[in-house]
Structure 1
Amino acid sequence: MTAYLLGVDLGATGLKATIIDDRGVTIAEATRPIPTASPHPGWSEQDPDTWWQAAQRAIRDVLQQFKHGAEAIVGIGLSGGAHIAVLEDEHGQVIRPAIMWNDQRSHAEAAALHERAGDRIIATSLNRANPTWTLCQLAWLNAHEPDVRRRTRRLYIAKDHLRARLTGDWTTDYSDALGALMSDVATRGWSADLAALVDWDPATLPPVGQPTDIAGRVTEAAAMATGLAAGTPVVIGSNDTTVELFGAGANRAGEGAIKLATAGVVFLTTARPEVHPPISCYPHVIDGLWYMASGINACASAHRWVRDTFFSDLSEATAFDTMDRLAAAAPAGSDGLIFHPYLMGERAPHWDPKLKGDFLGLTLRHDRGHFARACYEGISFALNDVLGAAKALSGATFGAMRLVGGGSRSATWRQVLADVTGLPMVRPENGDASFGAALVAGMGVGVFTSTADAQSRMRVRETTEPNAAAHARYGEIYALYDQARRALTPVSHAIHAQTVERAGT
């Protein structure tokens, strides 16, 4: 009989549920939005209750499309954004909204931690302190909300908190422990030494297992809430980038991927830990492999902002199609219009929370087609920045890149990215975290007998080759993009001082 698997991914702007069969074919999928609050400039928070509400609805939606009944699902896997901590008190109540990975409030604490113990943090947990990591966020909470530390009895990472609503368990995997910047590479567990840097009680940190370990089973209460069958096994899972890389098929040393989602991320699979801060280093799903990752703050989120700003007269589906069509019709270089996508400051490779986004070179001839193409080009230039920094820091070489995330659906964006970077872009048949999470579940419950068996379910849909003439043209435009970024950095900092620091945040 055919076996079916459910993957649930908790993304930055929405939750997706996907059912696949044992051939790796997607049978049904559903998404539900998740709101984000920004109570101060540079802040980004979510209420974990909205995750559970979205999960209930998305799971019910996907089961409604599924013809075989919830009992046919033999395993469930979850994934979610790294670095996102949920803090519960002694009564199991969430104490405060979860601080998201793109939140920039802890930049001062991150700088202080790096100055005080940077070498120790990197040696122990392989990565450098910056506002993305949970350790720095906890340092901010200690300074600004000290009652939170006193009340906390359990810390969950995002996907684990959502899974706990299904099973009642309290576990995480090593990739998410490492993402908290409080793990120990020697033991693949927690580091009491790093927790002590922010005076955090290690007893509040969850047990650590393997992504394929069965964490628990769907409870009767969760079954009533979601429509799932009680008793269905749920594996621990891993963070979204880890399962996406696996699901996209970048599963041999030297294979890379680019994620076009809320954030943009560049990955490269390696045979051993490659520690080149501030490039991130994570364990792969496949035991013995690792990967490097480095990303920009605003990718599909910048694309969505352009859509909402310049195409608000159109429905969501029509707006995206129109953007793609108009962007394809505009010339390479958007007739001199340049976009810097720093709408939430920037992570790699500049690590500057005070950078601001901009459009440069505006003239009366520019229309919204130019803005749409400049959006694709600006995000591609920002990702090219990351590729360049990774090459310079690590000596890595990149070949054909697997594309994951919603942005990979755009043929225009794929071509622009190929032309900017000079690299072929490979689009998998299934290239998102919910698919990867379902594959991991299949390994955990025995549907797939090995990682090689699971990998055989991954298929390539199409490959976009770079155009040599366009690549040369984009090299000239990128030089202007980078020159403008350097020139405008002091202006961005001055604007930040006027609008953020003056406001006392």
Structure 2
Amino acid sequence: MGNYLLGIDLGAGSLKATIIDGAGRTLGEGSHPVTTSVPRFGWSEQDPAEWFEALCAAVPKAIAASGIPASAIAGIGISAGAHIPVLTNAQGQVLRPAIMWNDQRAAAQAAALHERAGARIIATSLNRVNPTWTLAMLAWLQENEPDVMAEAKRLYLAKDYLRYLLTGTWETDFSDAIGALLADNVTKSWSSELCALIGLDMALLPPIVAPEAVVGGVTAEAAARTGLAAGTPVVCGANDTTVEFFGVGATRPGISGVKLATAGVLFLATQGPSVNPPISCYPHIMPGMYYTATGTNSCASAHRWLRDLMFAADGFEGMDALAADAPRGARSLLFHPYLQGERAPYWDPLLRADFIGLTISHGKPDFARALYEGLAFSIRDLLEAARALGLSFGAIRLMGGGARSACWRQIIADVTGLAVERTEAADASFGAALIAGIGAGVFAGPEDAVARCVRLLDTTPPDADSHEFYTSLFGVYKDAQAALAGLNHRLHALFS
């Protein structure tokens, strides 16, 4: 085996595989879409079998693009969205679709858990319960699908189930244990107290190991399906936000980041846990460090929705060019991106998306620009809520597919008033490959991985005049959100 590494990330809309060398250079990439089912308003589910089908399609593409033999891969790392539970029975069969992190069905269970034991949940597992967390999802399943819970013998988190299909092993890391809201930050193990709140049998929970721990090798069966070499070492990995933030070099307290992916996420690296509910707090890859994360429900997903609805002939590049040509403020057209309700800072599953200020003179460029600006305002909403809790932010390291758009980068810089930094690689599959390299011995540790592989590509500073303009427009955005929230609720009541 050589010093080549494979990172695999299961996103909400696709699975991506990336092969890098020991200097962090990308040699080959492959991706394959995954579908999300929305059986009811506020619900969001995926079929775990489709995840592995996507892996079996994406990995051979990455290997072929890299020009290296599969036998040269020294290690494999996997990441996926946090909180997503997969339940299997005694025969290893998946019992139901996986409930996604943006699913809102468990709102009542989350509220009941918070009223009953909110302070203890926060003290134990660092975070306030809401429908995003696995704890609330499992409470909903206990109440609504008790037969499933009775038959379940193992609980996997998303990346762990995907890795199980490669290695046949069962474990998780501490970032995903915290993400399940079932872990004790003091003992760094599962919490019997939190499990007892929902009557969860702790035998369902996997062992907790380090993200860089080699947990097994690719099985012969998985090798035949994926084109990988049997026996290739596979590390445990961590959730997507953990590896992605690490992968842009956020290895010191005070570094902040924004992820433009299916969701929009705001990050801040801290020394030790920074507990400010409802802002989330997770363990970092760096020993002793944590990071805060607060996120919206719709970001790149809203981008894709509008592309499909209005810009199918233009594609993303054409849509981006139209947005860049439109004037700032989109000629008074405002967009609130609550296509799937909203998480932070409102935690309201009944919010609806909207375009307001529409006139007969508006055209496609204005819609494209308003979308970018509305998503940037949503990020500023997260930023202002975090600042109100005493958190301080510097330059933003940008992550996710949206980072490729120069127009969107400038809008984010102008709306937030913060410089936007972009690294050469900025997605979770790259971060997962770095974790694999630590476990496989390609890197001496996390600092070595970042020093050798993470390079700054460019910086986008904010324009002072545009920041002043967007600050005024953000006030309108906020007032409109407050004015429309009650109407959103009435619409839901009328049509639910």
TM-score, normalised by the number of residues in structure 2: 0.99
Which of the residues 415, 419, 426 maps onto 1:424?
Answer: 419
| 1:2 CA displacement | 5.2
1:180 aligned onto 2:170: no
Residue identity in the other structure for 2:418: L
Residue 293 of structure 1 aligns with which residue?
293
| 1:499 CA displacement | 2.0
Residue 388 of structure 1 aligns with which residue?
384
Would you say the 8 A contact 1:125–1:185 is kept in 2?
yes
CA distance in 2, matches of 1:343, 1:197: 32
CA distance in 2, matches of 1:176, 1:372: 36
Which of the residues 319, 335, 338 maps onto 1:339?
Answer: 335
| 1:442 CA displacement | 0.2
| 1:385 CA displacement | 0.4
Would you say the 8 A contact 2:9–2:79 is kept in 1?
yes
Residue 32 of structure 1 aligns with which residue?
32
Secondary structure of the equivalent of 2:465?
A: helix
Would you say the 8 A contact 1:257–1:402 is kept in 2?
yes
| 1:62 CA displacement | 1.1
Residue identity in the other structure for 2:430: F
Residue 464 of structure 1 aligns with which residue?
460
CA distance in 1, matches of 2:245, 2:282: 11
Q: Which runs of 5+ in 1 are unaligned?
A: 501-505
CA distance in 2, matches of 1:276, 1:399: 19
Query: 234-243 vs 326-335, which deviates more?
Result: 326-335
Would you say the 8 A contact 2:336–2:353 is kept in 1?
yes
Would you say the 8 A contact 1:265–1:296 is kept in 2?
yes
Residue identity in the other structure for 2:36: T
| 1:68 CA displacement | 2.1
Query: 7-16 vs 66-75, which deviates more?
Result: 66-75
CA distance in 2, matches of 1:192, 1:147: 22
Residue 71 of structure 1 aligns with which residue?
71
Secondary structure of the equivalent of 1:258?
A: strand
Residue 166 of structure 1 aligns with which residue?
166
| 1:66 CA displacement | 2.5
Residue 503 of structure 1 aligns with which residue?
none
1:359 aligned onto 2:355: yes
CA distance in 1, matches of 2:256, 2:306: 28
Q: Which runs of 5+ in 2 are unaligned?
A: none
CA distance in 2, matches of 1:319, 1:437: 29
CA distance in 2, matches of 1:57, 1:40: 30
Residue identity in the other structure for 1:404: M
Aligned length: 495
Residue identity in the other structure for 2:440: V
Secondary structure of the equivalent of 1:101?
A: coil
- 1:163-242 map, 5 Å: 163-242=163-242
Residue identity in the other structure for 1:412: C
Would you say the 8 A contact 2:29–2:66 is kept in 1?
no
Residue 397 of structure 1 aligns with which residue?
392
CA distance in 1, matches of 2:370, 2:232: 47
Q: List, as ranges, runs of 4+ consecutive aligned residues in structure 1 with deviation greater than 3 Å.
A: none
Would you say the 8 A contact 2:413–2:460 is kept in 1?
yes
Query: 169-178 vs 191-200, which deviates more?
Result: 191-200
Would you say the 8 A contact 1:76–1:233 is kept in 2?
yes
Residue 118 of structure 1 aligns with which residue?
118
CA distance in 1, matches of 2:495, 2:444: 56
CA distance in 1, matches of 2:218, 2:304: 35
TM-score, normalised by the number of residues in structure 1: 0.97
Residue 44 of structure 2 aligns with which residue?
44
CA distance in 1, matches of 2:72, 2:173: 27
- 1:100-111 map, 5 Å: 100-111=100-111
CA distance in 2, matches of 1:251, 1:302: 30
Listed one character per residue, the Cα deviations across residues 69-89 of structure 1 (whole Å, up to 9, x for unaligned) are: 001001000000000000000
RMSD: 0.8
Residue identity in the other structure for 2:361: R
Would you say the 8 A contact 1:337–1:361 is kept in 2?
yes
Residue 443 of structure 1 aligns with which residue?
438
CA distance in 1, matches of 2:283, 2:440: 21
Secondary structure of the equivalent of 1:238?
A: coil
